[in-house]
Amino acid sequence: MTTVRLGFAADWAGFRAAARNLAAAGARPETITWLVGEEANLFADDTPPPPSEASFTVPRRYVDLAETVIMARDPERFALLYGLLYRIRHGESGLLQDAADPAVHRAMMLAHAVRRDIHKMRAFVRFREVSDDGGTRHVAWFEPDHHIVEANAPFFVRRFATLAWSILTPERSVHWDAERLRLGPGASRADLPEDDRFAECWQVYYRAIFNPARLKISAMLSEMPRKYWKNLPEARDIPALIAAAGARTEGMLAAPATTPRLARIRAPAADDAQATPWAILKNQAQVCRNCPLWEHATQTVFGEGEIGAAIMLVGEQPGDQEDLAGRPFIGPAGQVLDHALRAAGLERSALYITNAVKHFKFEPRGRRRIHQKPNDAEIEVCRFWLDQERELIEPRLTVALGATAGRALLGRAVTISRERGRLIDLPGGARALITVHPSYLLRLSDAAAKRREYAAFVRDLRLAAEMAATGMGLQHSEP
């Protein structure tokens, strides 16, 4: 009989060296007794394995499996692993592919249990804070099922690199002082400091994320098995939360709909020293509920650009991409616009760009959101914001891109083909110019028409640039 005495329960280096020597010497598994630390040898005297220089390769898959299984709290794990190695060396090189083999199956089950335990330790370690003359430390108590503490320590070092902490467990303790990791003997739960503010934080957090309407006790117990509860401050609330879940769900169903998140955004108060009038206006528009379009849109898409710009561009309403990004004209129509602006010698950053309607109106179709034209009432209600933007920016020229913008600006229906390219006086001395909407150009399928219309669009924008630069009138008409 040969006896191998390993240094500690998950002594991978010791096992690997011994197993290598034994396998090289052809030692049969049943002739080996595996012991850990001071464990007594009931069956034979200690006879160490013969040293061996022989080298051989072991499949990577075996090493990965063995490194994990060695942490299992199963007294047979060393024999099991050496048995597998012996068989791999003696004609069963593909053994680990055979999950139906009882020994392989057993090893896989143990590896699974160890991995789960590692994961649970990462999820359920709860530190408490202790401050004394030596400074502040964070101490946690955890009861692992397997011998996973050393293997898991680097995870906690990475995650809490700058804190000093100790994780106490019944068999081993690990201590990190923000520089060095130290292993120590086991501890007892009584070594854990008193409950602290962190415990309360965990309780508050858990109560906040607990959704009574989604309660599934079996799924919850699988995620957070009862055996961990005694060391989790938040678990103290679980029985009461479960007991109250039914009534709370009924209350939720009976209650009127809550105001969605955007409605609670605080508009800066007028005396907020940081807030410019434009920022105040923009924030107020974020919570606009003046028409139903806000309900399905992601957010209000307010205007952006140069405050005091000579030219303001007004589009129709944000599209799908604008709705998601919260910025006007950044999708396909925006790209056409950017192109045309450059061709007309205008810098987008020198302009102010906004829309007649500030929420995306669409119809869901499968996973797509199909643009819908805003109606007259929606345009009229949203004019409130456009008027205020114009008052603040005071553009010399406002360019209406398309009929919706024209209506918002002039307060009447606009026929683009009849009115484009002419300057229109607005009340207060400013002027408007009507042109097409860039998405009209995108919709044209005939290439020649597309080129022609694009050139006309650029011409209109060039007129706008000249007019804004010189302040000179071109051809006037009444609003």
From the CB of 382, what's the least distance to ligand URA, in Å? 12
Stretch of residues binding ligand URA (CB under 6 A), selected from 14-22, 56-64, 163-171, 326-334: 326-334
**Beta-carbon-side half-sphere exposure of residue 411 (alpha carbons within 13 Å):** 6
Site for ligand URA in 407-466 (CB under 6 A): 439
Stretch of residues binding ligand URA (CB under 6 A), selected from 79-87, 106-114, 328-336, 461-469: 328-336
Query: Which long-range contacts link 376-384 to residues 24+ away (Cβ below 8 Å)?
Result: 376/407, 377/291, 378/291, 378/293, 379/404, 379/407, 379/408, 381/290, 381/291, 382/290, 382/291, 382/356, 382/357, 382/358, 382/408, 383/356, 383/408, 383/411, 384/290
From the CB of 193, what's the least distance to ligand URA, in Å? 57
Q: Which of 303, 318, 395, 406 binds ligand URA (CB under 6 A)?
A: 318
Residue 305 in the binding site for ligand URA (CB under 6 A): no
Instruction: Confirm if 310 and 396 have CB atoms less than 8 A apart.
Output: yes
Residue type, 468: A
C-beta closer to ligand URA: residue 2 or 317: 317
- How many residues line the site for ligand URA (CB under 6 A)? 13
Query: Which long-range contacts link 456-463 to residues 24+ away (Cβ below 8 Å)?
Result: 456/420, 457/340, 458/340, 458/343, 458/344, 459/421, 460/399, 460/420, 460/421, 460/433, 460/435, 460/436, 461/340, 461/341, 461/343, 461/344, 461/346, 461/399, 461/435, 462/344, 462/345, 463/421, 463/433
From the CB of 318, what's the least distance to ligand URA, in Å? 5
Stretch of residues binding ligand URA (CB under 6 A), selected from 8-16, 184-192, 277-285, 318-326: 318-326
Residue type, 373: K
What gap in Å lies between CA 39 and CA 42, rounded to an integer?
9
C-beta closer to ligand URA: residue 14 or 332: 332
**CB within 8 A of 20, min separation 6: which ones?**
52, 56
Residue 319 in the binding site for ligand URA (CB under 6 A): yes
C-beta closer to ligand URA: residue 305 or 328: 328
> What track of x and - describes contact with ligand URA for positions 340 through 359 (by CB under 6 A)?
---------------x----
Stretch of residues binding ligand URA (CB under 6 A), selected from 19-27, 102-110, 229-237, 310-318: 310-318
Q: Which of 317, 336, 385, 419 binds ligand URA (CB under 6 A)?
A: 317
Residue 322 in the binding site for ligand URA (CB under 6 A): yes
C-beta closer to ligand URA: residue 315 or 395: 315
What gap in Å lies between CA 120 and CA 223, rounded to an integer?
9
C-beta closer to ligand URA: residue 83 or 331: 331
C-beta closer to ligand URA: residue 210 or 457: 457
Q: Which of 304, 316, 378, 389 binds ligand URA (CB under 6 A)?
A: 316
Q: Which of 329, 352, 385, 457 binds ligand URA (CB under 6 A)?
A: 329
Bridge pairing between strands 423-425 and 431-435? antiparallel
What gap in Å lies between CA 233 and CA 206, rounded to an integer?
9
What gap in Å lies between CA 155 and CA 476, rounded to an integer?
73
From the CB of 358, what's the least distance to ligand URA, in Å? 10
From the CB of 316, what's the least distance to ligand URA, in Å? 4
Of the candidates 289, 307, 309, the residue with the CA atom closest to the CA atom of residue 299: 289
Q: By the criterion CB under 6 A, which residues form the site for ligand URA? A: 315-319, 322, 328-329, 331, 333-334, 355, 439
